[in-house]
Amino acid sequence: MRHLIDPMDLSVQEIQEMLDLSNDIIANKDKYSEVCKGKKLATLFFEPSTRTRLSFEAAMMELGGNVLGFSSADSSSATKGESVHDTVQVVGCYADVIAMRHPKEGAPLLASLKSPVPIINAGDGGHYHPTQTLTDLLTIQREKGRLGNMTIGFCGDLKFGRTVHSLIKALSRYENIRYILISPKELQVPDYIRTEVFENNNIPYQQVESMDEVIGELDVLYMTRVQRERFFNEADYIRLKDTYILDTKKLKNAKEDLSILHPLPRVNEISTKVDDDPRACYFRQALNGKYVRMALIMKLLGLEVE
Ligand code: NCD
């Protein structure tokens, strides 16, 4: 049985197969409309979500399957003190696959050790978010036609942003990518990303504080929200939250074929005026998230279509 906990649980070849399947689903939706008939997905969300939970549920419905679950810890027996081990052993009696989001790093991994069905990590604290990574990879490949040979800027909360940690880790296996990490000093990537991912693999990266200085060099700009819920005090959040605001003026210095990604939700970090710019990919990215989750559910359930 396979689980998806860490972005590195999938090889580069498996990721490519998943992206190819996602593209086929996009091109031939009807072909896949009954592949999960009789199957159930449980979404166990101990932390808030809009896109991830609803795109998982929409994905399962578009495959002809059914969904059940809860969308906050308050509405589950976690409030009575139940462990994730027990929760998944029980939910595994009702569903064929489980997507779990949890505020504690490592909770989905712990759950997978006892689960009778595949567990998908739908975000664990500030750690990883592998299905957002698949969404981001599909988006970069569809927008740019490639997954290597580019300069990528990550901007915003690189310390607590789990989508950033996951995507950097997954991209570390592709050729010739230069990383420009744009953040205030307090929100730089964690040490393990610098040492284990960049330095151990001899991957070039640069840490800067100003977006203006580097925007013209980027092929992809991955914007992120400052993760308020992971801050220890509100004053720091307020001081840092609006450090970067991408607007049409800043974009004047960017490449014509820049791709702007954002996992969403957006707060202030991208002006809504940017939404009409063809370089803004974030709503297409959110749509891609549904298709890539359809491909993932099929893969974990071992289902194929001729
Ligand atoms: C992200 C997350 O939950 O980590 N959202 C998402 O799943 N698209 C990003 C965020 O919350 O900032």
Residue 129 appears among annotated catalytic residues = yes
HSE toward the beta carbon, residue 191, CA cutoff 13 A: 0
Same domain for 62 and 181, yes or no, is no
281 lies in the same domain as 222? yes
How far from 151 is each of 131, 193, 214, CA to CA, in Å?
A: 22, 18, 10
What pLDDT, on the 0 to 100 scale, is given for residue 139? 98
165 and 206 belong to one structural domain: yes
Q: Which atom of ligand 1 lies closest to the CA of 47?
A: 3
- Would you call 262 a catalytic residue per the annotation? no
Which residue has a Cα nearest atom 7 of ligand 1? 52
Nearest CA to ligand 1 atom 12: 225
**CB of 99 shorter than 6 A to ligand 1:** no
Res 79: pLDDT: 79
Q: How many angstroms separate the CA atoms of 88 and 161, rounded?
A: 26
pLDDT at position 298: 98
* 233-237: long-range contacts, CB 8 A cutoff, minimum separation 24: 236/186
CATH number where 223 lies: 3.40.50.1370
269: containing domain = 131-285
C-alpha–C-alpha distance, residues 278 and 122, integer Å: 29
Provide the domain count of the chain: 2
* Predicted local confidence at residue 262, as pLDDT: 98
Whether residues 202 and 250 fall in one domain? yes
Does 119 lie in the same domain as 247? no
Residue 243 three-state SS: coil
The residue whose two tokens read 């990537």 is 189
pLDDT for 78 equals 81
Question: In the structure encoding, which two tokens stand for residue 209, read together?
Answer: 């504080």
* 3 state DSSP class of 154: strand
At 160 the pLDDT is: 96
135 shares its domain with 124: no
pLDDT at 74: 85
Q: Is residue 1 part of a domain?
A: no
In this structure, is residue 123 part of a structural domain? yes
Same domain flag for 204 and 105: no
**Ligand 1: which atom is nearest the Cα of residue 51?**
8
Q: Which two tokens stand for residue 260?
A: 């702007």
Domain-embedded: residue 306: no
**Within-domain flag for 2:** no
Q: Which helix (H) or strand (E) is 45 found in, with range?
A: strand 40-45
Residue 249's contacts (CB-CB under 8 Å, 6 or more residues apart) are none
Could you give the 3-state DSSP secondary structure of residue 19? helix
**Atom 8 of ligand 1 has which residue's CA nearest to it?**
263
Q: Does the residue 202 lie in any domain?
A: yes
Averaged over successive runs of 10 residues, the pLDDT of the chain (306 residues) comes to: 97 98 98 98 95 97 97 84 93 98 96 96 96 98 98 97 97 97 97 97 97 98 95 93 96 98 97 98 98 98 94
Task: Give the Å distance between the CA of 31 and the centre of ligand 1.
Answer: 30
| CA pair distance 158, 193, nearest whole angstrom | 10
150 and 230 inside one domain: yes
Domain annotation covers residue 274: yes
- Pocket flag, ligand 1, residue 163 (CB < 6 Å): yes
Measured in Å, residue 49 CA sits from the centre of ligand 1 at: 8
Closest C-alpha among 183, 154, 181, 162 to residue 230: 162
143 and 251 in a single domain? The answer is yes
Are 80 and 135 contained in the same domain? Answer: no
The upper half-sphere exposure of residue 44, i.e. CA atoms within 13 Å in the direction of its Cβ, equals 29
What is residue 73's predicted lDDT score, i.e. its pLDDT?
A: 87
Cβ of 285 closer than 6 Å to ligand 1, yes or no, is no
Quick one: tokens of 62? 């578009």
Does residue 18 lie within any of the structural domains? yes
3-state secondary structure of 59: helix
Ligand 1 proximity of 220 Cβ (cutoff 6 Å): no
- 80 is known as an active-site residue: yes
Same-domain pairing of 69 and 153: no
The Cα-based distances of 5 to 2, 127, 246, 287 in angstroms read 10, 10, 32, 22
Is-contact 59 26, C-beta < 8 A? no
- Catalytic hit among 3, 39, 127, 129: 129
Query: Which H helix or E strand runs over 179?
Result: strand 177-182
The rounded Å distance from CA 214 to ligand 1 centre is 25
> Three-class SS of residue 22?
helix
Ligand 1 centroid to residue 181 C-alpha, Å: 18
Same structural domain, 107 and 140: no
- Specify if 52 maps to a domain: yes
